[in-house]
Structure 1
Amino acid sequence: MNNPGLLREQKRERFFFIALTAPAIVLVGVSAMAPVLWILSQSFLTLTGEATLSNYEKILSSGLTWSALGVTLALSLCTLVTCVVLGVPLALALASARRRVANRVLILIMLPLWTSILVRTYGWLVLLRREGVINTTLASAGVIDEPLPLVYNFTGTLIGMVHYMLPLFVLPVYAAMRDIDGNVVRAAASLGAGFWRCVATIILPLSSSGIGSGSMIVFIYTLGFFITPAVLGGGKVNPIAIRIERTLSTFQDWGSASALGVLLLVLVLIAGAMFLAIRRLAGERVQHA
């Protein structure tokens, strides 16, 4: 039987914690939802304040919108794949290392996040441009005869985005791998499983929640990137965020810019829902296994 006194105490504690978090929830909710609702309303208004659907008709019938959408998805997917390829082995190495060594390496990994994204982006511009450090070093060593096109293109933009997002991907993956019971891995090794088999059948499935969380962070975050494509893309890489800025700065068309913002928001929501569904399916598969 349930203890009435214990139930009352649990309700009192629950109410206390709700009361503590309510002001922050209200503040964050209002500050987050108010701009979204304003943009949503602007997307259905003309310059004279009349209700219309022409803003959506304009952006959906424009080839520039679909081109920007394709560039946005390509950048996000390539950034995600690169972060997975680089981040999973790095997280595995950190999880296998001694705690003190892992903590020191994590500090080095997190250092870029303590610097302004604008400073870091211009730093990559100095490194990647035709007369930059990388091309100058390669030319001096006789490796190349002409400077490599490393900036003002898709490649340079991708490098800058991976540099920013890799630490954010590594952290949840490292946390998930660190929580894996070492006895499970040692038991598999004692039964004859090699290193790669342990990684494929034990470590990766048990750390799938961290990989999924990191992947969702990387993909959704990069959908709205602006500074890195603007600086390293040199006007040749134009995702939706840059398309929105140019619609405002060039045409002062708040309706179309707001409609593009709503399109980007819908894209983020779809991506979030897909990642959550994939994580749920992966978690169920791990439990059944």
Structure 2
Amino acid sequence: MTTTVDNPRVVPARPASWFFSRSARQYSHALTFLLIAPLMLLLAGGFIYPIGRLVSLSLMAPGFTLEHYERIVTEPLYMEVLLRTLQTGAIVTVTSLLLGFPVSFLMAHAKGRMAMLVSAAVLVPLWTSVLVRSYAWIVLLQRNGIVNGLLIESGLIGSPLKLIYTEGAVILAMTHVLMPFMILPVYNVLRTIPAEYTQAARNLGAGPISAFWRVTLPLSLPGIFAGCVMCFILAIGFYITPALVGGPGALMMATLIGQQTTVLLDWPFAAALATVLLTTTLIFVLVFRKALSVSKGMNSVN
């Protein structure tokens, strides 16, 4: 006759309930749905529904029609504004990267008071209104502004230059406003790169430039891609700065949409313009995500 002795270490499994699964690290499908339901409702009410109404409004005149989109394609003005918006966004993004990467590198490697000074120079503009910063550029670049005054006093020019209400003024002001959105993501990645990687490359015979090009720059690509996406998306949707420092020759899509809604009251056509701008933004994000995944694959192979 054999007897069985219960193992005191074996804990009987708790039966799965409607809210909990058998694993202590997982929730059941029902509880997961209840947890994400408020977020899904907020997303549906604050994003999906307005976007759906926007697209449906662009297809009405008053019945279903595509004439608003045909108007965008056939009339040269609107395609010119769209291309100028994309071009300005690309220039602002590249300029922000070229000017912001050294600042990010300095923030990641500076110590003491220098680190505090650079961080303050980057963060303080974020606490200032975009409207205030745009008006500051008007004070600097206007006909009787500070820049023209300094150039005339130095004898470099005889009469004031037209610096304000130009495409260059828009690019300059937008770059100033958006540069922190490039600096911070790149800095966040650079500060996580161990210094030993660069030291190892130098010990293996690489020079400073080669070590930066082959070690630091590839490892900082996620921050660069994130900063480029943020800057480009914000740039093509900018309204305040182009409206204040830009002229008719620097008209952008956001300003054009504002004119259609507030001046001409053509809401269906404004909805079509906004839908085209939204679609362009989504395509850009998808292309950047694909480029980032390809870059990670190439780095893993190398």
For normalisation by structure 1, the TM-score amounts to: 0.92
Q: Distance in 2 between matches of 1:164 and 1:156?
A: 12
Q: 1:236 corresponds to which residue?
A: 249
- Dislocated runs of 4+, deviation >3 Å: 3-7, 12-22
1:111 to 120, 124, 128: 124
Q: Which deviates more, 215-224 or 21-30?
A: 21-30
Q: 1:178 corresponds to which residue?
A: 191
Distance 1:152 1:25, change over 3 A: same
Q: 1:91 corresponds to which residue?
A: 104
Q: 1:251 corresponds to which residue?
A: 264
* Counterpart check, 1:37 vs 2:52: yes
* Counterpart check, 1:283 vs 2:289: no
For structure 2, the 5+ residue unaligned runs are: 1-11, 15-20
Q: 1:23 corresponds to which residue?
A: 38
* Counterpart check, 1:125 vs 2:165: no
Q: Distance in 2 between matches of 1:200 and 1:11?
A: 43
Task: In structure 2, give the amino acid aligned to 1:43.
Answer: S
How many angstroms does 1:286 deviate by?
1.3
2:204 to 173, 176, 191: 191
How many angstroms does 1:196 deviate by?
0.9
Cα deviation code 1:207-246 (max 9, x no counterpart): 1110011011111111111111111103331111112122
Q: Distance in 2 between matches of 1:149 and 1:18?
A: 59
Task: In structure 1, give the amino acid aligned to 2:107.
Answer: L
Instruction: Report SS of the residue matched to 1:11.
Output: coil
Contact 2:167 2:247 in 1 (8 A): no
Distance 1:268 1:205, change over 3 A: same
Task: In structure 2, give the amino acid aligned to 1:261.
Answer: A
Distance 1:159 1:252, change over 3 A: same
Q: Distance in 2 between matches of 1:19 and 1:235?
A: 52
Instruction: Report SS of the residue matched to 1:52.
Output: coil
* Counterpart check, 1:269 vs 2:279: no
Q: 1:155 corresponds to which residue?
A: 168
Cα deviation code 1:175-222 (max 9, x no counterpart): 111111111101111222111111111100011110011011111111
Task: In structure 2, give the amino acid aligned to 1:276.
Answer: R
Task: In structure 2, give the amino acid aligned to 1:33.
Answer: I
For structure 1, the 5+ residue unaligned runs are: none
Structure having greater relative contact order (Cα 8 Å, sep ≥ 6)? 1
Q: Distance in 1 between matches of 2:125 and 2:236?
A: 20
Q: Distance in 2 between matches of 1:195 and 1:222?
A: 34
Distance 1:130 1:284, change over 3 A: same
1:62 to 65, 72, 75: 75
1:227 to 228, 240, 248: 240
Cα deviation code 1:248-268 (max 9, x no counterpart): 233321111111111001100
Q: Which deviates more, 149-158 or 92-101?
A: 92-101
Distance 1:246 1:175, change over 3 A: same
Q: Distance in 2 between matches of 1:22 and 1:164?
A: 36
Task: In structure 1, give the amino acid aligned to 2:250.
Answer: V
Q: Once superposed, what is the RMSD of the aligned Cα atoms? A: 2.2
Q: 2:4 corresponds to which residue?
A: none
Instruction: Report SS of the residue matched to 1:251.
Output: coil
Q: Distance in 1 between matches of 2:269 and 2:249?
A: 22
Q: Which deviates more, 260-269 or 28-37?
A: 28-37
For normalisation by structure 2, the TM-score amounts to: 0.88
Instruction: Report SS of the residue matched to 2:247.
Output: coil
Q: 2:149 corresponds to which residue?
A: 136
Q: 1:218 corresponds to which residue?
A: 231
